[in-house]
Structure 1
Amino acid sequence: MADLLDIAVRLAVIVAAFLLLPLVVGQMEHKAMAHMQSRLGPMYAGGFHGWAQLIADGIKFIQKEDVIPAAADRRVFALAPAVTLVPYLVVMVVIPIGPGLIGVDLDAGLFFVLAVMGVGVLGSIMAGWASGNKFSLLGGIRSAAQLMSYELPLVLAASSVAMAAGTLSLPGIVERWEWWWLPWQAIGAVVFFIAGLAELRRPPFDMPIAESELVMGPMTEYTGLRFALFMLAEYAGIVVLSALTTVLFLGGWHGPLLPGPVWTLIKVFALAFVVIWVRVSFPRLREDQLQRFAWTCLVPLALLQLALTGVVKIALG
């Protein structure tokens, strides 16, 4: 009974933390972009620096009318936002925050994470097809093509870390991590992070949305709370990508002086800031450039990292 209670408490704490983190990342993105682009925007909600603006936006979305196009497939249209969001929330439960601080420790946790993350793109495909809108359908097709291209380098980079650690357990990878892995696995870390950005359809890999071409891609016909769920899924994806990069390549909770969970959160927010910085700094890629970058750059680099890991493992015995 005590064990069940302990598991329930840990699950509740982790789920609550990960439900809050996407909102914090969303607020950080709004404020960081505002300062980087010298357009501060609303600064009054909540008082100091407009800290409650994200909450105000959420209330606004809830109050908006829920519109479903006449030509839409109503059931699929309504289900798509949840299909986009839920996989990231499920993945968060198996990501370790600190020693023993994990919702569920799976022996094949890395495979589970990579498999479930790929499900999220189905929400975009469903939204694009069910909207009855040609721009939404094009956005959904682009999402599928982008996933197919960037899933391979993502998996190859993650496989390099699993090979180095000799385990597929996420806590096991962190426990076996050493500081000298930073230069050794640097190529894989860069490939994993960039491929993750592309799977999240974050700028400069946001061709499935491409406001100047497709309005909002798969989300064109969505309003109110359903649109807000798509936005929350994007921020949850940023948290998941940053947390996985931290666990696989940056040593997770390892760090001097501060408690392990604090180090994990510091690294996660640092990487989330990099995601925001990339959005502000780089222009959107064309569709052909996006595909070429995956197959001619990221895939060869990921294979090079795998080969390097194999050589080092054999050399170390």
Structure 2
Amino acid sequence: MSSSVIAAAQTADFTQDTWWIWAIKAVFILVYLILSVILALWVERRGLGRMQTRLGPNRVGPLGLGQAFADALKLIIKEDMWLKGADKIVYFVAPVISAACAFSIMAVIPMGPQISLFGHSTPLQLADSPVALLLILGIAALGEYGLVLGGWSARSTLPLYGAVRSATQMISYELALSLSLVTVFLTASTMSTSGIVDAQAGIWNCIPLFPAFCIYIISMFGETNRLPLDLPEAEGELVAGPHTEYSSMKFAWYYLSEYVNMFNVSMIATTCFFGGWRAGPIMTWLYSLWGGDPNVGWIPMLWFFLKTWLFMFFMIWTRATLLRMRYDHFMKLGWKVLIPVSLIWLVCVVVIRGVTSFSTFTRNQLYIGIAVVFLIAMAIIWLVGDKEEPTGESGAGESTPALLDGESDEAQAAADFVRPEDEFDAMAGGFPVPPLPGQSLPPSPRAKRREATLSTQEADHD
């Protein structure tokens, strides 16, 4: 099917849907997401255990399968805590916002083609829209307000820090993620999720739009607050970030929404880059050997769920492999790398669409060719690009001037050296800074009192 036909009409046909079909689909989505989260918790804990040479849960139920149910029961019966100084309404509504937005996204994700359900022809999708992809981005952005309002309403320091980090992370990585998806609906000539899947009948978008696919993969970790980009709830720094002052089911809603969002970004990646519910060319060829079609009936639902779990396992594997990024590196990656690269690739896609309108080259050939050139150019810039000038901070909080290119390493070492007798004031710049090499912190008042006491005792002894 050509992209012009896809743009002209919505491919999913809901004309025979009735209210009870909508109810069945809605209930299936809720049950599927809840059970998938329970299974994902078991897979993550057992998988992390194997990757880190430990057992993981293995006591409750066979192979520890009942551990997630035991944890859920514990959260339900746990004492529900209400902060005295919190904004009660916002404090209660914030986790509801996160959970409601997380469960809403799957409604516009196509899980399969048209099938017959109790004599009615209906797509394996609850709803669709000509702007379904924009609807997904809007709901995802709205869900971030749950974290921001939850941290702000607690009127506590660490949750507020987590809320501020969540807001900055949302702005940084939502932009890169959105720009990567813009190239998808430009290629498919539609923002309908079912139309995007149909546009990948020949070749999946992950091949011609490989740079956008890489940008999306990185951005989805920041979107879901997962390692190595889990800065809003860094346990070693902020205890649990915006969730710190929550307990019982209010915390459970946050916890549930985080894992549901992992499934959401995995399903979006499957829909926009991995052909959605469509089987790959190899499976299509294997099925054709005995006259079958893997893209009809209920079988495509299996391909969709397998691809989704492929991305889920990739996120779990990444958590077991990488450490948390430093916050300044995290922001630099979003604003100085992902967003500029996304804009450059977006311009390339627009140019490709313009060229293919007046040439005999196929669009996929140009996509693949420019994607290869783009990746080579990015690699060259990364390897031989100009490095930042080395800078340092003196004890008074002033920056050390950069050396000229002709100066030697000995001159650099001499410039960086700080005399031990230099007086160090940790608060000279308005905020505490650690001492540089050669400097030392002044003794604490307690150490001064202890030294004075010892001196007095020695004088009395003499």
Measured in 1, the distance between the counterparts of 2:342 and 2:256 equals 30
1:24 Cα deviation from its structure 2 partner: 2.0
Q: TM-score, normalization: structure 2? A: 0.66
What is the identity, as a one-letter code, of the residue corresponding to 2:101?
Answer: P
1:278 Cα deviation from its structure 2 partner: 1.1
The match for 1:279 among 293, 312, 319 is 319
Q: Deviations over 1:242-268 (max 9, x none)?
A: 000000001001112452111110000
**Secondary structure at 1:3's aligned position in 2?**
coil
* 1:173-184 to 2 correspondences below 5 Å: 173-177=196-200, 178-179=202-203, 181-184=205-208
Identity of aligned residues (%): 32
* 1:151-170 to 2 correspondences below 5 Å: 151-170=174-193
- 1:25–1:239 CA contact under 8 A, matched in 2: no
Unmatched 5+ stretches in structure 1 = none
1:2 Cα deviation from its structure 2 partner: 6.3
Measured in 2, the distance between the counterparts of 1:105 and 1:30 equals 35
Q: Following TM superposition, where does structure 1 have runs of at least 4 consecutive aligned residues deviating by more than 4 angstroms?
A: none
Partner of 2:48: 33
Partner of 2:251: 227
- 1:128–1:139 CA contact under 8 A, matched in 2: yes
1:180 Cα deviation from its structure 2 partner: 5.6
In our comparison, the structure showing a higher alpha carbon Rg is: 2
Measured in 2, the distance between the counterparts of 1:191 and 1:144 equals 20
Cα gap change, 1:211 to 1:180, in 2 (>3 Å): closer
Partner of 1:96: 110
Partner of 1:78: 92
Partner of 1:288: 328
Unmatched 5+ stretches in structure 2 = 1-14, 114-122, 288-293, 358-462
Partner of 2:416: none
Measured in 1, the distance between the counterparts of 2:257 and 2:41 equals 11
The match for 1:146 among 162, 169, 172 is 169
1:226 Cα deviation from its structure 2 partner: 1.4
Measured in 2, the distance between the counterparts of 1:152 and 1:19 equals 29
Partner of 2:291: none
Q: Deviations over 1:53-85 (max 9, x none)?
A: 101110011111011122212221122111111
Measured in 2, the distance between the counterparts of 1:180 and 1:208 equals 34
- 1:15–1:92 CA contact under 8 A, matched in 2: no
1:44 Cα deviation from its structure 2 partner: 1.6
**Secondary structure at 1:40's aligned position in 2?**
coil
- 1:153–1:298 CA contact under 8 A, matched in 2: yes
What is the identity, as a one-letter code, of the residue corresponding to 1:9?
Answer: I
Measured in 2, the distance between the counterparts of 1:153 and 1:239 equals 19
What is the identity, as a one-letter code, of the residue corresponding to 2:154?
Answer: S
Partner of 1:299: 339
Partner of 2:137: 114
* 1:233-252 to 2 correspondences below 5 Å: 233-252=257-276
2:21 paired with 1:6: yes
Measured in 2, the distance between the counterparts of 1:182 and 1:276 equals 21
1:11 Cα deviation from its structure 2 partner: 3.1
What is the identity, as a one-letter code, of the residue corresponding to 2:98?
Answer: T
Whose relative contact order is higher, 1 or 2, with alpha carbons under 8 Å and at least 6 apart?
Answer: 1
Cα gap change, 1:17 to 1:69, in 2 (>3 Å): same
1:224 Cα deviation from its structure 2 partner: 1.5
Q: TM-score, normalization: structure 1? A: 0.95
Higher helix share: 1
C-alpha RMSD of matched pairs (Å): 1.6
Partner of 1:23: 38
